[in-house]
Amino acid sequence: MTKRTSKIIIFSAAAAALLAGGYFYYYSKFVSGPSVEDTPIKDKNVSIDHQELFHNDTKIAFIGSSVTEGTGASKPDKRWTEQFTAVLQEEYPGLESKNFGVDGYSTRNIIEGITDEVVQYKPSFIIFETAALNDFSRLDLQTTLENIATIMETFESELPETHVIIQPSNQRRNGESYTNNGITYPEYVKETESHIKENGWKYIDFWPYFNETYENTNITVSDTLNVDGIHPNDLGNKLWAEALLDYFSGNSLQASGNEEK
């Protein structure tokens, strides 16, 4: 075999690997899982109780990581942020929202790359996803808690009239199998929740809504996630939007004790 032939073979193998990797990334980023229409989950007619938060000139800023940006949804209108906004706009047509979620961002990245943009947008309402999926794999718990405090201090200082509600990232498949300094992902999220509540910040835990769905249907955690086992698919996004709407309509999440503090 000549050197030229060897180089061609190596180049071809590398190109094939690159294409395969690119295809897998595209597939895992955008292709959804089980069809929402094929599940027993029904659309809801939601009456929003929080008149102090939502009205025709409300500006909502969604901040967080890839699961806020919409990675895993098959198209933009399947994202939980879009579905949540669409329902609100049925009652408040003048309401607007902007998605500041960024793929791969941790709380440190949010401080460095998002908070200033959010301040300039001047929203009247912020929904802040803690990027726990990324923090869990990169940062120790104490650093996460400090970063959340820094983010909230910025909003309280620069946007004193803005309502801010914090929520976790979504559940992940095999969440109990990996640890960060001996803490599993659910434990990491729970410790973050405790810190947020201790500081008097408002927090929505939407996981019970998913757990209730698992108990009452044949849906599992895996069914709500993309092929990577991390990002919500169309069903996961739909349930996420439903959970938030449930909260703001005064239903199950508030009834289970996860009220604004």
pLDDT at 26: 37
pLDDT at 35: 47
Give, in order, the Cα–Cα distances in Å from 48 to each of 4, 83, 122, 146: 69, 14, 23, 33
Given a contact cutoff of 8 angstroms between Cβ atoms, the answer to whether 233 and 70 are in contact is no
pLDDT at 48: 59
77 vs 180: CA distance, rounded Å: 34
pTM above 0.85, yes or no: no
The residues of the chain scoring below 70 in pLDDT are 1-51, 251-261
45 vs 91: CA distance, rounded Å: 11
Give the residues across from 203 on adjacent strands: 166
236 vs 221: CA distance, rounded Å: 9
22 vs 8: CA distance, rounded Å: 21
